[in-house]
Structure 1
Amino acid sequence: MSHVAHSEAEDVINELMKLHPKGFDMTLGRMRRLLETLGNPHLKLPPMIHVAGTNGKGSVSAFCRALLEAGGYAVHVHTSPHLVNWHERYRIGRKGEPGQFVEDKVLADALRRVAEANAGQAITVFEILTAASFLLFSEIPADVVVIEVGMGGRLDCTNVVDNPAACVIMPISFDHQAYLGDRVELIAAEKAGIMKKGRPVVIGHQEFDAVHDVFLSHAERLSCPITFYGQEFWAHEEFGRLVYQDEFGLADLPLPRLPGRHQLANAAAAIRTVKAAGFTVTEAMMETAMTSVEWPGRLQRLTEGDLIGLAPEGAEIWLDGGHNPGAGEVIAEAMAGFEERQPRPLYLIIGMLNTKDPLGYFRAFADIAEYVFTVPIRGSEAGLDPVVLANAAYDAGLVAEPASTVAEALKEIKERQLEGTPPPRILVGGSLYLAGNVLADNGTPPK
């Protein structure tokens, strides 16, 4: 039931995957060597906004893009991972209009040139993909570049630009502990590695107080101007509006198009970051950005597509790729908010990778979810067995059972629908890879 089109760039990437190892190997040496062979394209970029954090990186990148495009700027954006097509990682800016995913032949050509420059030396495919973004963004004119860290920060292969216009670090939570450490202070220190001497840093909303001193000490050591959410800038909802305030003033704005209370803080971090990067941000730009921002696979409401008819008539179907305990908490809070406004039984359809913390994720839903179906993830060797995942849900206090596919789970929910009861609210989530599976099967890939 997949609608994914074949592409030349994907053929190139598949060949690269045969040649180079999978997984993570945290170092910058290979990346710097490759970029030097390519003529150091990372030193020829427009002003760059560098985005790190455990959660919210993609959302704040989307808000930054929406703000800058509302001001008429051409904005290149590099994010990862993609949901359906590799091209989603590379959004090419256009003056006076929204950027578009890179054209297939353009991406394939860039990847071939990077691979040729690497000349078969040891490297990871993610490093090649990132080098391709630097190459593309240096060759295609734009006003600004937004680049999202892949993992961590200090040794992430995006961390080769010495003079970013601004850095922003979003909420820290537990993820990738094997690489980044098992304490929030250690994880925060890795994220703080994107800070550069004298360059402004914005710190988004943080759940853990312990990370504040980590960020502050790094910033002071590097003489970085630093602003914290909740201190120098903040946002809250008032009478159905977003009120944003910083040291420059106050703005009364529409609520963000992206649902969930956490998006208020994400929007605020983006506004403050774009200002820190040296761009003038008008209230008109902010208003336009709040209503135009898009970020698929993050509390995305599915209202049409091939999977919709499998669910009970009138059901709400939400898709979210959040996959760690911190993400589980904000998603569960959003679901609870929906429940307050319109009560419905909540069903979860969850797939996760075996590197995640399913118990920590499920605990957030213990008091609000009616039932859980656990499913495999197509296209990943690291998918967690649905039986194991169902047991984790049970340990978190939920009633759960495995299903073979999302489609099967939707059909099962439909069969359980009792006459006279409200249609259910269904959350499909636990992994960006699963979100990609769903968007592909549903025939609604990101655009």
Structure 2
Amino acid sequence: MSTLVSDLILARLSSLHPKKIDLSLGRVSRLLEALGHPERHLPPIVHIAGTNGKGSTLAMLHAMIDAAGLRAHRYISPHLVRFNERIMLNGQPIDEARLSDCLDRCERANADQPITFFEITTAAAFLAMAADSADLVLLETGLGGLYDATNVIDRPALSLLTPISMDHEAFLGDNISKIAISKAGILKPGCLGIVGPQPGSALDVIKAHAAEIGAPLLIHGRDWLARAEDDFLVVEDGDTTISLPRPALKGAHQIQNGGLAVMAARHLPSLIIDEHAIASGLRRVVWPARLQRLTQGPLVESLGGMHDLWLDGGHNPAAGEVLAESLGALSAGRPVHLVVGMLQTKDFANFLKPLVSRVASITTVPLPEEPGAGHAAEELAAVVVAENGQANIATSLEDATAGLARRLKRPSLVLICGALYLAGYVLRTNS
């Protein structure tokens, strides 16, 4: 089937529920029953939830699995360029024929009943992954955990919790404890959970829930640690200390993500991923739009050869803190100029706070190809000015980079950030 067929089906599926997000397991459970419960026929599953770092952690774990000669399926969201990226079968994006077939089967089985886009496409992912053999499934929650459509899994091989912070407050709650209740919902009785670094209030919730349901935990700071030492990632797992290469992914935060991936690789039941494969995976991992340097394409050319262009899809306050911590090492003393667009549902002011004093200017842009979904560039610029930042307004991403090329007189680092939608547009148009 052609690309057009899957696009048409996806467009129809997006209209089956009046809300984009409606957290519940009833609809997806009904559909999976109609499909013969493909989720019960999957290879062993690593289920991951958290606010930031889920994708990077799974990417590193996937690279380790590959290096060990094992095969894994992976389900993530959202995608950056094409929907096919969400469903990886043995390391490759699902092909158009398989995707269209799985979507069509789900659409027919659903019989026009209300269901969200994420729920029905998650069912399609389960169909696809159940049909192909693999050693493991890497399964990322879409939003939260407890009522996320992926949480129909009864007994994961491992549950992973990345750092929890404020995001999606309208759906998950207005404080860390409430959000942690949702994220901890992926823990299952008798199934090991590995917990990354957490705020105290989140960790209290996780520990209490695990004790209530009988889920054993390995907790960062109690049972394991990850730290950077020179060019190495050092992981302490109980009484064992291993020294590994730093992850290929940039940013100090990738030390903790890498540590969680290492712990997952070491504690997978019935699969052996040795230290050589773990090290190889850390060296080889690739994860687009996470502090990614762009080295070619129209946007790079528009800036001229004097400046470096970087891209990051982070979009919440914790991501702003991570970017701020990473800018010093990336910039090597050069001025940093941000180009920012952001969804209206995101907290731009708190994303900006840790960044504004560390950058020379901030150019705000509307989100391309998402009319009405993003903050107006003028709104974002007003927040920059209120935080005593140097603001510029551009009508488009291309206008922003062209303006910077005219204004910048010394070698600089330009970072496009604030939204995965914006990052996806950059990757589509700049390839």
> If the TM-score is normalised by the length of the shorter chain, which range does it land in?
over 0.9
Separation in structure 2 between the aligned mates of residue 164 and residue 170 of structure 1, nearest angstrom? 16
* Amino acid in the other structure paired with 1:77: R
Could you say which residue in structure 2 is the equivalent of 1:96? none
* Amino acid in the other structure paired with 1:16: L
Tell me if structure 2 keeps the 8 A contact 1:200–1:277.
no
* Amino acid in the other structure paired with 2:77: S
Tell me if structure 1 keeps the 8 A contact 2:341–2:375.
yes
Separation in structure 2 between the aligned mates of residue 8 and residue 195 of structure 1, nearest angstrom? 37
Could you say which residue in structure 1 is the equivalent of 2:118? 126
Tell me if structure 1 keeps the 8 A contact 2:6–2:96.
yes
| Deviation at residue 21 of structure 1 after TM alignment | 3.1
Q: How do residues 37-436 of structure 1 correspond to structure 2 at under 5 angstroms? A: 37-93=34-90, 99-206=91-198, 208-247=199-238, 249-278=240-269, 279-339=271-331, 342-380=332-370, 381-418=372-409, 421=410, 423-436=411-424
Tell me if structure 1 keeps the 8 A contact 2:16–2:115.
no
For 1:17-54, what per-residue CA distance to the aligned partner results, in whole angstroms no more than 9, with x for missing partners? 24443410111000000000000001111000001001
Separation in structure 2 between the aligned mates of residue 314 and residue 229 of structure 1, nearest angstrom? 42
Separation in structure 2 between the aligned mates of residue 9 and residue 170 of structure 1, nearest angstrom? 32
Tell me if structure 2 keeps the 8 A contact 1:7–1:104.
no
| Deviation at residue 337 of structure 1 after TM alignment | 2.3
Tell me if structure 2 keeps the 8 A contact 1:363–1:396.
yes
Separation in structure 1 between the aligned mates of residue 412 and residue 3 of structure 2, nearest angstrom? 36
For 1:257-313, what per-residue CA distance to the aligned partner results, in whole angstroms no more than 9, with x for missing partners? 000011010011011123333133311011111111111111111011121111132
How much identity, in percent, do the aligned residues show?
A: 40
| Deviation at residue 7 of structure 1 after TM alignment | 4.2
SS at match of 1:260: coil
2:429 corresponds to 1:441: yes
Tell me if structure 2 keeps the 8 A contact 1:60–1:266.
yes
Q: CA RMSD in A?
A: 1.3
| Deviation at residue 16 of structure 1 after TM alignment | 2.1
| Deviation at residue 401 of structure 1 after TM alignment | 2.2
Tell me if structure 2 keeps the 8 A contact 1:236–1:243.
yes
* Amino acid in the other structure paired with 2:205: V
| Deviation at residue 238 of structure 1 after TM alignment | 1.5
SS at match of 1:152: coil
Aligned length: 428
Separation in structure 1 between the aligned mates of residue 5 and residue 306 of structure 2, nearest angstrom? 40
Q: Which runs of 5+ in 2 are unaligned?
A: none
* Amino acid in the other structure paired with 1:42: E
Tell me if structure 2 keeps the 8 A contact 1:46–1:138.
yes
For 1:379-423, what per-residue CA distance to the aligned partner results, in whole angstroms no more than 9, with x for missing partners? 3342111111111222223111221111111111111122xx3x1
Tell me if structure 2 keeps the 8 A contact 1:351–1:375.
yes
Normalised TM-score (structure 2): 0.97
Separation in structure 1 between the aligned mates of residue 19 and residue 364 of structure 2, nearest angstrom? 26
Separation in structure 2 between the aligned mates of residue 39 and residue 237 of structure 1, nearest angstrom? 47
Tell me if structure 2 keeps the 8 A contact 1:312–1:413.
no
Tell me if structure 1 keeps the 8 A contact 2:233–2:259.
no
SS at match of 1:364: helix
SS at match of 1:427: strand
Normalised TM-score (structure 1): 0.93
Deviation larger for 380-389 or 138-147: 380-389
Tell me if structure 2 keeps the 8 A contact 1:184–1:210.
yes
Separation in structure 1 between the aligned mates of residue 257 and residue 117 of structure 2, nearest angstrom? 30
| Deviation at residue 248 of structure 1 after TM alignment | 5.5
Separation in structure 2 between the aligned mates of residue 313 and residue 363 of structure 1, nearest angstrom? 30
Separation in structure 2 between the aligned mates of residue 249 and residue 10 of structure 1, nearest angstrom? 49
* Amino acid in the other structure paired with 2:415: L
Separation in structure 2 between the aligned mates of residue 33 and residue 108 of structure 1, nearest angstrom? 21
The equivalent position to 1:13 in structure 2, one of 10, 18, 22, is: 10
* Amino acid in the other structure paired with 1:284: H
* Amino acid in the other structure paired with 2:294: L
SS at match of 1:77: strand
Q: Which runs of 5+ in 1 are unaligned?
A: 94-98
| Deviation at residue 378 of structure 1 after TM alignment | 2.1
SS at match of 2:137: strand
SS at match of 2:355: coil
SS at match of 2:298: coil
Tell me if structure 2 keeps the 8 A contact 1:351–1:377.
yes
